[in-house]
Amino acid sequence: MEKSNKNRNIMGFITITAISFSILLLVVILFKLGRINKGEGVEDIDKAITYANNLSNNGLYSEAAYEYERILTDSRLELKRRINMLYILANLYMDNLRDYAKALAKYIKLRTLYPDNPYTTEINQRIVVCLEKLGRYTDAQALLQQVTSINPPQASNKVVASVGTRPITLNDLNDAINDLPESLKAKYTTPQGRLEFLRNNLITRELLYNLALREGLNKEPKYLSRIEKIEQDLLIQMAYEKEISQAIPTPTEYELKLIYDAKKDSIYKGKKFEDVRGELVEEYMRTKAKENESKLIQKLVAGEKIEIYPESLGISAPAIKFGGGE
């Protein structure tokens, strides 16, 4: 009987020791997890964001996207910065990498998880473009009708400032920011950034514009000549975008891999397909743009009568005639 009690005591001691050890091990694991979740050993968020921004500003879009994705997994990132960064990342996928599927996923995430975000109007517009680029025209049209019925056009034309009697609308602000180079857009995507741009750019422009009108600069021959040249350049740019840039189809994975396979040894040494996907898309777009431009010019030349007069250039030669009608 005494021996049996002794055995039970030993077994009880072993059991308690095992439980105590398990608890201690669990505490250690939780402590380490806690340290990891708090970001110990991870670089400061501000430095990480600056690094990602610098990558984007230097045209390293794939690398920047990877860094933004990594930062977004950090639980320390506050809500406003998380929303802003997610929007920047979505725009990067759409505008720079032309990865419309990933961009669409990010915009949908913003709309779903953060419905009160300050970019609702822009996000809806960009989702429509992504759907169109992915060939989902029916979905794009349905969303466009839905958004228009909920938010009529005049809602986004809200007056955000006025200089004298002339208003500055939200559309004016959005258009001005969208015209900026990609490296500068990120600075003005937050409400505070947009306010800064409004004060330091649009209002300043309006003040100088008023000054020019008061001094009658809009009636000078130099102004009228420059306006004609600007109008011509603008129309050329619009024609180029419509007939060449917008006519480029979204590249398929097969097409991108063909480019990658052809240059993986000479250009993309040691780099994986996923790491250079953005560069492949850009090369595809450049190649297709050149092809479209060549075809368009041939078509236009065939439809116009063109003459060149070498004598006017000091060259003794007859006129060169080509194009339509010859």
pLDDT tens, 274-326?
A: 888 888 988 889 999 899 999 988 888 888 888 999 999 999 999 998 887 55
DSSP bridge pairs for 321: 307
pLDDT, residue 249, reads 83
Give 280-287 contacts, CB < 8 A, sequence gap 24+: 280/251, 280/256, 281/97, 281/98, 281/99, 281/251, 281/256, 282/98, 283/259, 284/251, 284/255, 284/256, 284/259, 285/98, 285/248, 285/251
Q: Cα–Cα distance between 190 and 175 in angstroms, integer?
A: 15
Pairing of strands 166-169, 305-308: unpaired
At 191, give phi and psi (nearest 5°): -55, -40
pLDDT, residue 156, reads 55
Q: How large is the average pLDDT for residues 234-254? A: 86
* Residues 6+ positions from 288 with CB-CB distance below 8 Å: 248, 249
Alpha helices per DSSP H over the chain = 2-37, 45-57, 61-72, 79-91, 100-113, 120-133, 137-150, 170-178, 182-185, 191-197, 203-214, 221-240, 253-263, 277-302
Q: Encoding tokens for residue 15?
A: 């059991």
Q: Encoding tokens for residue 129?
A: 């473009």
Which burial class, exposed, middle or buried, applies to 138 when counting CB atoms under 10 A from its CB (0-12, 13-18, 19+)?
exposed
pLDDT tens, 159-205?
A: 899 988 788 988 889 888 888 887 788 788 788 888 999 999 999 99
pLDDT, residue 105, reads 92
pLDDT, residue 41, reads 37
pLDDT, residue 28, reads 45
Asked whether residue 229 carries a pLDDT value surpassing 70, the answer given is yes
* Residues 6+ positions from 51 with CB-CB distance below 8 Å: 67
- Which DSSP state fits 58? T
pLDDT, residue 76, reads 85
pLDDT, residue 90, reads 93
Q: How large is the average pLDDT for residues 24-28? A: 47
pLDDT, residue 148, reads 55
User: Which has more confidence, 255 or 152?
Assistant: 255
Q: Cα–Cα distance between 171 and 156 in angstroms, integer?
A: 6
pLDDT tens, 132-156?
A: 888 887 777 777 767 655 555 444 5
pLDDT tens, 211-226?
A: 988 898 888 999 889 9
- Which DSSP state fits 251? P
pLDDT, residue 319, reads 92
* Residues 6+ positions from 92 with CB-CB distance below 8 Å: 56, 61, 64, 65, 68
